[in-house]
């Protein structure tokens, strides 16, 4: 959950990291019957649901925080449930901007 650094910190209150993370893990398992092999997109949506439905945070606030967390990694794909709230900061050049690091190394643009 390194990528969701700011939003993940909302999982625990008053510095009670273990208790907060344990409660989230229990809820996560009740929703998915798994605690591993969960894609980042799905994990983001599950964290969103937990923070809003269980802990009572405001949806728009959590969406903004998740977008900020996810976009700390350049080129990260925005989860579909957040796309309507996301506006790219800079216009990307056609072609090259859509390539990942490995592809850029071999691009002849």
What are the pLDDT digits (tens) for 19-62?
999 999 999 999 999 878 898 889 999 999 999 999 999 999 99
Q: What is the mean pLDDT of residues 58-75?
A: 90
What are the pLDDT digits (tens) for 3-17?
678 888 899 888 899
For residues 82 and 63, is the Cβ–Cβ distance under 8 A?
yes
Domain encompassing residue 42: 2-106
- pLDDT the model gives residue 91: 40
Q: For the residues of 5-59, what is the DSSP string, one character each?
A: HHHHGGGSSTT-HHHHHHHHHHHHHHHHS-SSS--HHHHHHHHHHIIIIIT---H
Taking the C-alpha atoms of 84, 70, 103 and 80 in order, what is their torsion angle to the nearest 10 degrees? -30
Total tally of structural domains belonging to the chain: 1
pTM greater than the 0.95 cutoff: no
What are the pLDDT digits (tens) for 86-103?
877 654 444 445 556 666
């Amino acid at each position: 959950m390194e990528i969701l650094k700011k939003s993940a910190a909302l999982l625990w209150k008053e510095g009670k990291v273990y208790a907060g993370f344990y409660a989230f893990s229990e809820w996560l398992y009740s929703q998915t019957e798994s605690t591993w092999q969960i894609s980042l997109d799905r994990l983001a949506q599950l964290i969103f649901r937990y923070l809003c439905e269980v802990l009572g945070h405001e949806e728009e606030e959590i969406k903004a925080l998740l977008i900020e967390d996810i976009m700390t990694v350049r080129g990260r794909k925005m989860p579909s449930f957040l796309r309507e709230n996301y506006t790219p900061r800079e216009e990307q050049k056609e072609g090259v901007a859509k390539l990942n690091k490995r592809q850029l190394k071999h691009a002849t643009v």
